[in-house]
A and B are shown apart, each in its own frame.
Chain A
Amino acid sequence: MRNSMLLRLTALATLSLAPVASAQVIAITGGTVYPVSGPKIENGTVLIRDGRIVAVGADVAVPADARRIDARGKWVTPGFINSATSLGLSEAGGPQFSGGYDDTGARATDGISAAFESWKGLNPVNTFIIPARQEGVTSVVVAPGGGMVGGKAAVIDLIDATSAAEMVRRASTAMVGDFGSPGNGSTNSRAEYWAKWRTLLDDVKAYQTRRPAYEAGNSRTLAASRADLEALIPVVSGQMPLALSVDRASDILAALTFAKENSLRLWIMGGAEAWMVAREIAAAKVPVFTGAMNNIPTDFNSLGQRQENAAMLRAAGVTVVLVGNGPGDGASFNVRNIRQEAGNAVAYGLSWDDALRSITLTPAEVLGVAAQIGAIATGLDANVVVWSGDPFEFSSVAEQVFVRGRTFDTKSRQQQLTERYLTLPPAYRRP
């Protein structure tokens, strides 16, 4: 009962997000607007009504009742999208480790948990969410962690909410899989990994085409549970992308071949050595989600890891989504650092415009939400940030962050601690 309710809510949310703003008109005026979907506009105006962008340009008439935000000297960009996170799913280390919570991964069967949707366990009051929003991140992809088939990723808006369902923008965005290091996971070798995938796809088709026999118990044993087979149907049909974490150049080529043979929509996640096979990736029209702050041969799969990866892929014509692959907890505590990743991408060869696009419109397009977010354009939901300066620079501050057309003044826990200890010892009580 609760499940179907949640599904209905989710469906509603996906189709048309209920505007969270009151019937209010907001005009951001005088700033340099980077719509991303078009050239930058000096002294531009962004008009927001009922949570949506209703006008953008240099000659926009501002209604008399509009709340004006003076953005002279400021930079106005779409809200940033961090497309590789587990935000909201863990805090304070896992139960066995430190006693916090960790809802990132499912207890998979033989490495397969395709039906798992980690976002449904997202904690809307997780204390890492507000700091991310305060630095201009308005949407994130929340992905399940680990396993050959980890589960489904969702696009989440960083609004204050009491349930994950209110935050979700697109629930079933992609099926997440991890090539990992065969030998450490549910397979012992690379060749076995791909063979297991072939068996799995065969069994999804068998389940799909002979469902009555399966339900009647007249089926051979299939390679995954009923729920997981069901969840994989859109992947097999090429509707839902398979987001595969894979790093070694030869493994990336194997993944391209596998996807082509089986008519799967592939995304490459990480792709440490993708630059070495950039031409092949471009030809396959497969997007790569990668970063610009890792040059360490972390393991034998990623020996060629380098910071120019994103720029080299872009130059070869690959669609690049910038995600955190650098130091720190970029998937959770430091989701906010996506702008540092973008700045480093520029330092290592990506154009500034491409870097901005790769954390706004490009992910929106790849994630299938470009009709809603990712740009400052008429008709889109108002995920918009007003910056004090170049958003990639450390010294710049996100002064106004709109998500679905509204701002949030909730103080983060970090802010509250900061304020308490501005004087030492702290004043616990008024005199």
Chain B
Amino acid sequence: MRSTRLLLALVAAGCATAPAATVPAQAPVPVAMPTPAPNLVAGATSRPNADPFPSTYAPFASRTTVIRNVNIYTGAGPLIRNGAILLQDGKVAAVGATVNAPANAVLIDGQGKYVTPGLIDTHSHLGVYPAPGTAAHSDGNEATAPVTAHVWAEHSVWPQDPQFPRDLAGGTTTIQVLPGSANLIGGRSVTLKVVPSRSAQGMKFPGAPYGLKMACGENPKRVYASRGPSTRMANVAGYRAAWIGADAYRRKWDAWLAKPEGDAPARDLNNETLAEVLRGNILVHNHCYQADEMMQMIDIAKEFGYQIRSFHHGVESYKIADVLAREGISASIWSDWGGFKMEALDGIKANVGLTHVAGARTIVHSDDASYSQRLNQEAAKSLAAARVAGLNISDEDAIRWITINPAWALGIDRMTGSLEVGKNADLVLWSGNPLSVYARTEKVWIDGAMLFDRSDTSQRWRTDFELGYVPNEGGRR
């Protein structure tokens, strides 16, 4: 949605054949990188408060299901042609050339069709910038101070945003909802399953760690031009000042927790979140367009001893992809957006491909309610552009840009993002190869429950808002 990005921006914030002589023949496989504790309960290690807004999500009712005779992009290995997958008790129970179908299983014939893991978007503002776009629901940017680590995106999430069911219908099953980019430190993100619920808590992905939104560059310095930061150097001073305060807070609390004598130190919501980053429990998601700024953010992270999990919108990732690979930082980037401001000027369509072949963990993200519905098309565009540039990338790798790689960035790769035995049965059945423009989602499962079925409009998820406002396919409101 053009207006959203514009809003974010305002509020806050083929190419003919290129020479291929110097291109590595085969993309290096991303090196193993540290993954945070897998079964972390969100916020559980926060001191002193464990998990004040716990997930109340429970999987929807599911049926044992077998999809047979179908092409499967597992996200973990090569495409399985004419294979089968068994979904049982909300998990992937078997996947391969054939599976044993239990007697009670629903059988789906996937002749000519494709299965992928449920798609995952590391950068969403669904719920915090819902549709219709109204001032009353513009809840994504707390643009009142440059450091607002005390705010949590989940407290702005409106579960009745009609963009959620559309996202699901596009095959996107998990999203990270972030605060906007007006601030140097914008607040906590939340990872949601794209499911109907009365509350944000009912959508929260159980066990997903929190994220922290940080932003470089133009947006903060424009938003705070009159009070500061108004320059990039003041941006950096602002991050460092925040981390200095957070480190002192963490040490004070950790000392008291080790020896809880006397009154506990005073709580400070801002530093509580930042301290959790320093303890390694909250993952840093850093909006940062330019290569030179990303390099500086890496040094800041080293100075204060935290790890950047993913740079978002890095339109210049391709310039430092080797560094991102070395530092174990993933790149959450667009397929083909750029040019709309100075720091976006060097956006190129080969960004995803070049970043991938340098060995960095590469993710195609959206930052947009429309793109988020077509992450497969975004990946396909990136793949095509990479090949035009002479890069050798497989279809399977392109699928990883929108499945297991974003799962890793969100710290949920042990639970979802690939179709392997024991993982959550989050998957999509496509009418054809999802890298084709003509492919459409047919069915989408989350934890084994079929939550979208294109052939059954009677079961279509319609948000409260849509009732009486948004006409259904027959034109009735």
**A interface, CB within 8 angstroms of B:** 91-93, 97-100, 127-128, 131, 134-135, 273, 275-276, 293-300, 302-304, 306, 326-330, 332-334, 337, 340, 343-344, 346-347, 392-398, 409, 411-412, 414-415, 417-419, 421-426
Chain A minimum-CB-distance residue to B337: A328
Could you write out 20 A-B pairs with CB less than 8 Å apart? A93-B9, A98-B218, A131-B349, A295-B166, A297-B466, A303-B471, A306-B473, A326-B370, A328-B368, A333-B337, A333-B339, A334-B337, A343-B437, A346-B438, A347-B440, A393-B437, A417-B318, A419-B18, A421-B318, A425-B322
| Interface-central residue, B337, B339, B341, B369, by most chain A CB under 10 Å | B339
Size band of the B side of the interface? 35 or more
A332 to chain B: which residues have CB within 8 Å? 339
A91 to chain B: which residues have CB within 8 Å? 339, 345
Are A418 and B1 neighbours in the complex by a CB distance under 8 Å? Answer: no
**B interface, CB within 8 angstroms of A:** 1-3, 9-10, 14-16, 18-20, 22-23, 131-134, 162-163, 166, 218, 222, 318-322, 336-350, 354, 358, 366, 368-371, 373-374, 377, 380-381, 383-384, 387-390, 435-440, 466, 469-471, 473, 475
Are B371 and A340 neighbours in the complex by a CB distance under 8 Å? Answer: no
Are B133 and A394 neighbours in the complex by a CB distance under 8 Å? Answer: no
- What's the Cα separation between A180 and B336 when bound, in Å? 28
- What's the Cα separation between A296 and B167 when bound, in Å? 10
- What's the Cα separation between A353 and B470 when bound, in Å? 31
A297 to chain B: which residues have CB within 8 Å? 131-132, 162, 466, 469-470
Smallest CB-CB A-B distances: 10 pairs: A343-B437, A327-B370, A98-B341, A93-B341, A394-B380, A333-B339, A414-B348, A394-B384, A424-B322, A327-B371
Q: By DSSP majority rule, is chain B's interface helix, strand, loop, or mixed?
A: loop
Are B15 and A414 neighbours in the complex by a CB distance under 8 Å? Answer: yes
Nearest-neighbour CB distance to chain A for B122, whole angstroms, equals 16
Are B340 and A333 neighbours in the complex by a CB distance under 8 Å? Answer: yes
Are B346 and A417 neighbours in the complex by a CB distance under 8 Å? Answer: yes
- What's the Cα separation between A72 and B466 when bound, in Å? 51
Are A327 and B475 neighbours in the complex by a CB distance under 8 Å? Answer: no
Are A395 and B15 neighbours in the complex by a CB distance under 8 Å? Answer: no
- What's the Cα separation between A251 and B254 when bound, in Å? 63
Chain A minimum-CB-distance residue to B20: A422
Q: By DSSP majority rule, is chain A's interface helix, strand, loop, or mixed?
A: loop
- What's the Cα separation between A327 and B373 when bound, in Å? 10
Are A422 and B19 neighbours in the complex by a CB distance under 8 Å? Answer: yes
- What's the Cα separation between A398 and B15 when bound, in Å? 9
- What's the Cα separation between A347 and B170 when bound, in Å? 13
Are B339 and A329 neighbours in the complex by a CB distance under 8 Å? Answer: yes
- What's the Cα separation between A344 and B162 when bound, in Å? 21
Are A422 and B22 neighbours in the complex by a CB distance under 8 Å? Answer: yes
- Known contacts A99-B342, A393-B436, A394-B377; is A415 also within 8 Å of B18 by CB? yes
| Interface-central residue, B162, B349, B384, B473, by most chain A CB under 10 Å | B349
- What's the Cα separation between A226 and B119 when bound, in Å? 56
- Known contacts A298-B131, A299-B133; is A422 also within 8 Å of B162 by CB? no
Are B15 and A418 neighbours in the complex by a CB distance under 8 Å? Answer: yes
In the complex, given contacts A296-B163, A340-B381, what are 13 additional A-B residue pairs having Cβ atoms less than 8 angstroms apart?
Answer: A98-B222, A294-B370, A297-B470, A327-B369, A328-B336, A340-B437, A347-B439, A394-B437, A414-B347, A418-B350, A419-B19, A421-B319, A422-B19
- Known contacts A98-B342, A397-B388; is A296 also within 8 Å of B369 by CB? yes
| Interface-central residue, A127, A328, A393, A398, by most chain B CB under 10 Å | A328
| Interface-central residue, B344, B358, B438, by most chain A CB under 10 Å | B438
